[in-house]
Chain A
């Protein structure tokens, strides 16, 4: 297959997928429910067949790549288009697992496990907590209507096409032979010895030698973010002494939204 034909097929697949996303986005129009599914799954299948044919043998491709890429892209599409936020979060977890699989195929074990722990463990739990805190009665209208779906899909299509074109053009000039063993999960070592440890130790050494200062700065940044999150989202719970000195109505106007009922109402009468 020539490079031009491949590019045109890829663009056609992207147009198909974009149409699928457009019809799947929550909006007012009525079309058959199966339409976005047919378009989206056809685009996904075409994408996988073209890319799998072109690049699969060796180079970290093969069956596992097709599996993880399909699950990642499908669940990303569902995150974007699902009308219920909690289901979006669940599909996001599925996508995180698929992306972690892709990273394993790239022999980045530490990043893969860190991705599962941080995204699937910490961030998504926080999201679900906020969904419970900020719950709306019934099925709110802002989940059932998108804002400018056509423009968004066009922007996404342009961005993706540009990125893929740049990747396909520029990457051919780069070396392709991997230094690390990418496929040890797909093909474990022949003898019964231990699975190769991969490069986790090397990543740790790099982080603690070459990127020592950035690592410390990242830690400080996390601390600042924690303090900032507490400061932004805190609820003002008035204590009895403060209320006697300055009643809630005399506080600055910006504090008005943060008022809460005191925890111990019986103490207030003292």
Chain B
């Protein structure tokens, strides 16, 4: 299972790079979906390693959470775009406090 876990870790790491470095709000949230995928691969791989179905069950719950996250995040993106007319993350620096 090591190679599956490492592929999951790579997907998660690439998603983190995109989340930290891209400035387009939509790509930022797409990167979080990439991290979800890495987590799904790991859940299923370890579920198979331990020879039970909990990994697959949790992967399905993860899909539901991903759908929730995507819908709310994209609603926020639409709202923010309507306020300032741009998708640039740096425009919202004032929210850093």
Contact = CB atoms under 8 A, between A and B. Distances in A.
A45 interface: no
A182 B4 CA distance: 13
Interface string B46-76: 0111110111110111011111101110111
Contacts of B40: 99, 103, 111, 115
A228 B26 contact: no
A178 to B, nearest CB: 6
B9 A73 contact: no
B59 to A, nearest CB: 5
Nearest to A156: B17
Contact of B26 (A85, A114, A221, A232): A85
A156 B79 CA distance: 30
A134 B90 contact: no
B60 A159 contact: no
Contacts, number: 277
A133 B30 contact: no
Given A73-B11, A178-B51, A232-B72, A146 B22 contact: yes
B95 interface: no
Given A110-B56, A111-B60, A123-B70, A80 B34 contact: yes
Q: Is the interface of B mostly helix, strand, loop or mixed?
A: helix
Contacts of A39: none
A206 B53 CA distance: 7
Contact of B21 (A131, A148, A178, A228): A148
Given A130-B77, A152-B20, A153-B17, A142 B66 contact: no
A123 B33 contact: yes
Contacts of B71: 126, 225-226, 228-229
Contact of A130 (B34, B74, B90): B74
B75 to A, nearest CB: 4
Given A54-B2, A110-B60, A178-B49, 7 more contacts: A79-B18, A85-B27, A108-B47, A123-B33, A147-B22, A179-B51, A180-B48
Closest A-B pairs by Cβ, 4 of them? A160-B13, A80-B18, A152-B21, A152-B20
Interface of A: 21, 25, 47, 51-52, 54-56, 59-61, 65, 69, 72-73, 76-77, 79-81, 85, 88-89, 92, 95-96, 99, 102-103, 106-108, 110-111, 114-115, 118-119, 122-123, 126-127, 130-131, 133-134, 136, 140-143, 145-149, 151-153, 155-157, 159-160, 163-164, 167-168, 171, 174-176, 178-180, 182, 199, 202-203, 206-207, 210-211, 214, 218, 221-222, 225-226, 228-230, 232-233, 235, 257-258
5 contacts: A99-B41, A119-B63, A146-B21, A160-B10, A178-B49
Interface of B: 1-7, 9-18, 20-24, 26-27, 29-31, 33-34, 37, 40-41, 44-45, 47-51, 53-57, 59-61, 63-68, 70-72, 74-79, 81-83, 86-90
